[in-house]
């Protein structure tokens, strides 16, 4: 039950919900999300960390960038 509550709390924030909608299109780096959302890196990274902690997204390092995707989403 606790995981379900954490899942819905993660999606209750508009910015995190927008990030999830963007990640349904495929893998994106933080810089892509910053551009689309018009938000600073610190805010985007904080929301991504929350989504990752909630088990909704996963990440991988590509060079100096972190790339994120939602579980079950295809990559570009």
Q: What is the pLDDT of residues 9-66, one digit of tens each?
A: 888 899 999 999 999 999 999 999 999 999 999 999 999 999 998 889 999 999 988 9
**What is the model's pLDDT at position 73?**
57
62 burial type by CB count under 10 A (0-12 exposed, 13-18 middle, 19+ buried): exposed
Q: Cα(50)–Cα(3) distance, rounded to whole angstroms?
A: 13
> Domains along the chain?
2-70 (1.10.10.10)
**What is the model's pLDDT at position 72?**
57
pLDDT tens-place string over residues 37-53: 999 999 999 999 999 98
pLDDT band, residue 71 (cuts 50/70/90): confident
């Amino acid at each position: 039950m606790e995981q379900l509550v954490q899942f819905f709390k993660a999606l209750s924030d508009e910015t995190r919900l927008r990030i999830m909608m963007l990640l349904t299109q495929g893998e994106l780096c933080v810089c892509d999300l910053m551009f689309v959302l018009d938000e600073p890196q610190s805010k985007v990274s904080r929301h991504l960390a929350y989504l990752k902690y909630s088990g909704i997204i996963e990440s991988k390092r590509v060079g100096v960038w972190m790339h994120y995707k939602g579980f079950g989403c295809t990559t570009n």
